[in-house]
C-alpha cells in the first residue's frame, strides 16, 4: 500500500510538474532558468520544448557517470515524464491571454502548481531529478556549498538560455524567490510516514535469522492477567 502511494505521488508530481511549466510558458512572462534554456534551444532547433527537456535531462544524467551518482526510478522517470507532459499540456492549452492580469494569474498559478508538484515527487523518495543530482554530485566532488553550486549552475543555464532566445522576465524572478518556500510547504503537506524504527529493526532481525519470526514477550498464563505489550508501536 505504501509503495502504491509513493508511485502515485511520483508520477502525479511529474505530470503536474510538466503541466505547471507549460502554464508558465503560456503566460509569456518568464520561467525558471532551466526552462528558459529549453525554450532557447527549442527556438534554435525547431524541436518542441518538451523534447529539448528530455534530451537535456538525458545529457545531464550522463554527466552523473564521472560524478559517481546513482539514478533511481524517479530520476529516469523525471527525464521522460516531465518533457512529455509539458508537450501534451502545451498542445492542449489555448494561446496566451492578452490581458496582463490574466497572464500574471496564469504565471502565479503555474509557479504554485510547480511547488506542489515538486513536493509530491520528492516525497515519493524514488531518487532526485537529473539536475538536482548534478548539483549534489558537484557539491560532493568540489566541496563547495550546495547553494553556491546550485547558483552557479542556474546562472550559467539562464545566461545560455537568454543568449539562445529563451524568455526570461518577472516570472523568472518570481520562480527563483518562490519555489523554495513553496516546495518546503508542500513537502510537509504530502509527506508519507516513515517506517517505524523498531519495525525496521525487527525486519532486519528476521532477515538475519532467515526470516524466522522474532518472538515477542511471553503471555502470562494466569486468568485475568494483562495482555503482553506488542513489540511494535501502536
Is residue 198 assigned to a domain?
no
Euclidean distance between CA atoms 153 and 82, whole angstroms: 20
Among 130, 113, 103, which residue's Cα sits nearest to residue 30?
Answer: 103
Is residue 223 assigned to a domain?
no
Write out the three cell numbers for 206.
Answer: 528476521
Structural domains in the chain (count): 1
Among 10, 5, 184, which residue's Cα sits nearest to residue 80?
Answer: 10
Give me the residue label for grid cell 494483562.
226
Euclidean distance between CA atoms 224 and 136, whole angstroms: 59
Euclidean distance between CA atoms 135 and 196, whole angstroms: 31
Is residue 152 assigned to a domain?
yes
Beta strand spans in the chain (E):
none
Is residue 151 assigned to a domain?
yes
* pLDDT string in tens for the chain (234-residue length): 889 999 999 999 999 999 999 999 999 999 999 999 999 999 999 999 999 999 999 999 999 999 988 899 999 999 999 999 999 999 999 988 899 999 999 999 999 999 999 999 999 999 989 998 999 899 989 999 988 998 999 999 999 999 999 999 999 999 999 998 999 999 999 988 766 654 565 556 555 555 444 444 444 444 444 444 433 334
Is residue 167 assigned to a domain?
yes
Is residue 103 assigned to a domain?
yes
Domain hosting residue 175, numbered range: 2-190
Is residue 220 assigned to a domain?
no
Neighbour-count burial of 43, counting CB atoms closer than 10 A to its CB (0-12 exposed, 13-18 middle, 19+ buried) = middle
Write out the three cell numbers for 136.
Answer: 549534489
Among 8, 2, 36, 27, which residue's Cα sits nearest to residue 157?
Answer: 36
Is residue 219 assigned to a domain?
no
Amino acid at each position: 500500500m505504501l509503495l502504491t502511494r509513493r508511485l502515485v505521488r511520483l508520477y502525479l508530481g511529474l505530470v503536474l510538474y510538466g503541466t505547471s511549466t507549460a502554464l508558465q510558458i503560456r503566460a509569456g512572462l518568464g520561467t525558471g532558468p532551466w526552462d528558459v534554456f529549453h525554450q532557447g534551444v527549442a527556438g534554435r532547433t525547431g524541436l518542441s520544448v518538451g523534447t529539448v527537456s528530455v534530451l537535456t535531462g538525458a545529457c545531464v544524467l550522463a554527466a552523473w557517470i564521472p560524478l559517481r551518482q546513482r539514478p533511481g526510478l524517479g530520476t529516469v522517470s523525471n527525464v521522460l515524464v516531465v518533457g512529455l507532459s509539458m508537450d501534451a499540456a502545451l498542445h492542449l492549452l489555448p494561446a496566451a491571454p492578452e490581458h496582463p492580469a490574466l497572464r500574471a494569474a496564469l504565471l502565479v498559478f503555474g509557479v504554485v502548481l510547480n511547488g506542489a508538484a515538486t513536493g509530491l515527487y520528492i516525497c515519493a523518495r524514488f531518487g532526485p531529478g537529473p539536475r538536482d543530482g548534478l548539483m549534489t554530485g558537484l557539491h560532493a566532488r568540489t566541496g563547495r556549498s550546495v547553494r553556491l553550486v546550485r547558483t552557479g549552475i542556474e546562472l550559467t543555464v539562464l545566461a545560455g538560455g537568454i543568449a539562445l532566445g529563451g524568455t526570461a522576465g518577472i516570472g523568472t524572478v518570481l520562480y527563483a524567490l518562490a519555489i523554495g518556500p513553496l516546495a518546503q510547504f508542500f513537502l510537509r503537506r504530502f509527506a508519507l510516514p516513515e517506517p517505524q524504527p523498531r519495525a525496521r529493526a525487527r525486519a532486519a532481525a528476521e532477515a538475519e535469522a532467515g526470516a524466522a519470526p522474532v518472538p515477542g514477550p511471553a503471555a502470562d498464563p494466569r486468568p485475568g492477567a494483562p495482555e503482553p505489550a506488542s513489540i511494535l508501536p501502536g
